[in-house]
């Protein structure tokens, strides 16, 4: 088990390095984030004890379950799942430094209220739906600037950039288009010079498409399967949950 994880990490780091070389980028510009949904604390520990520093969960419940086991090992925790408003109080208990999946004003408002009350701040990325699939979360690219302007008024939310889950497709060029949309949006937002908004992070690229994402400017790649192996739940269990509930299915 340990050997597999270490071997896979080596492969991923090589893939990142090669992609950076191809794109003429410095590998230090790209952070590897481990997407740890369904992965046991024990296995996550192996990665953290061997040089990894950044992990992320999709569900507050999993964050909570693994928190005690992992807290002694220095690392940074992000959140990459769909966040329900009623889970805000919980998520703030578990040392999450960045919520990458902020995609609506109502959630930002509630987060701000809770953070104000606790006299603290949190980093956020704005999740954008670049694949135009109804099943995915994230703000429409067309509406993102307006949303970011509004969120930027909440002093407790430190906007650091954008996140997207690209299209799942074997057609690299279609996937690339999603990443280009995110990059273009970043450039537009730079031009807007919105106070309190930093736009340096682009979180995009996963096990199957991290090379394309790096070529298009990713600063964070989020990798799960290629390090920890296949998951038993399909990804839409994590990504569509809220929408499935809303439809009453």
Ligand X SMILES: *Cc1c(COP(=O)(O)O)cnc(C)c1O
What are the residues binding ligand X (CB under 6 A)? 35, 37, 58, 80, 165, 206-208, 222-226, 238
Q: What's the rounded Cα separation, in Å, for the pair 98 and 124?
A: 5
CA-CA-CA-CA dihedral for 24, 215, 217, 211, to nearest 10: -120
Q: What's the rounded Cα separation, in Å, for the pair 202 and 220?
A: 6
Helices (H) and strands (E) in the chain, counts: 11, 8
58 alpha-carbon distance from chain centroid: 9
CA-CA-CA-CA dihedral for 107, 55, 141, 237, to nearest 10: -80
Rounded to the nearest whole angstrom, what is the least distance from the CB of residue 23 to ligand X in the complex? Answer: 20
Q: Which residues contact 135 (CB under 8 A, 6 or more apart)?
A: 236, 239, 240, 243
Query: Tokens at residue 164, please?
Result: 């997207």
Q: Name the residue nearer to ligand X (CB basis): 141 or 166.
A: 166
Place of tokens 């410095």: 26
Rounded to the nearest whole angstrom, what is the least distance from the CB of residue 205 to ligand X in the complex? Answer: 8
Q: Are 102 and 125 in contact (CB under 8 A)?
A: yes
Rounded to the nearest whole angstrom, what is the least distance from the CB of residue 37 to ligand X in the complex? Answer: 5
| Gyration radius (Cα) of the chain, Å | 17
Q: Name the residue nearer to ligand X (CB basis): 19 or 165.
A: 165
Rounded to the nearest whole angstrom, what is the least distance from the CB of residue 192 to ligand X in the complex? Answer: 26
Q: Name the residue nearer to ligand X (CB basis): 27 or 208.
A: 208
Rounded to the nearest whole angstrom, what is the least distance from the CB of residue 164 to ligand X in the complex? Answer: 9
Residue whose CB is nearest to ligand X in the complex, by number: 224
Rounded to the nearest whole angstrom, what is the least distance from the CB of residue 36 to ligand X in the complex? Answer: 9
Which residues on adjacent β-strands are paired with residue 55? 34, 77
Q: Name the residue nearer to ligand X (CB basis): 80 or 128.
A: 80
Q: Name the residue nearer to ligand X (CB basis): 183 or 222.
A: 222
Q: Name the residue nearer to ligand X (CB basis): 124 or 154.
A: 124
């Amino acid at each position: 088990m340990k050997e597999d994880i270490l071997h896979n990490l080596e492969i991923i780091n090589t893939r990142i390095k090669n992609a950076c070389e191809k794109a003429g980028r410095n590998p230090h510009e790209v952070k590897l984030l481990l997407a740890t949904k369904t992965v046991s604390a024990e296995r996550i520990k192996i990665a953290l004890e061997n040089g990894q520093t950044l992990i992320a969960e999709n569900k507050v419940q999993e964050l909570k379950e693994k928190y005690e086991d992992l807290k002694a090992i220095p690392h940074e925790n992000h959140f990459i799942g769909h966040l329900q408003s009623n889970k805000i109080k919980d998520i703030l208990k578990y040392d999450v430094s960045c919520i990458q999946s902020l995609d609506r004003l109502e959630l930002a408002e509630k987060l701000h209220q809770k953070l104000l009350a606790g006299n603290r701040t949190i980093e956020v990325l704005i999740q954008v739906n670049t694949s135009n699939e109804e099943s995915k979360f994230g703000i429409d690219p067309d509406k993102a600037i307006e949303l970011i302007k509004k969120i930027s008024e909440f002093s407790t939310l430190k906007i650091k950039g954008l996140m997207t889950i690209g299209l799942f497709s074997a057609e690299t060029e279609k996937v690339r288009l999603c990443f280009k949309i995110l990059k273009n949006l970043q450039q537009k937002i730079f031009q807007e010079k919105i106070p309190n908004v930093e736009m340096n992070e682009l979180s995009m690229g996963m096990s199957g498409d991290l090379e394309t994402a790096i070529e298009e400017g990713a600063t964070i790649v989020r990798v799960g399967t290629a390090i920890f192996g296949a998951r038993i739940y399909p990804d839409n269990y994590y990504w569509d949950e809220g929408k499935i509930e809303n439809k009453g299915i």
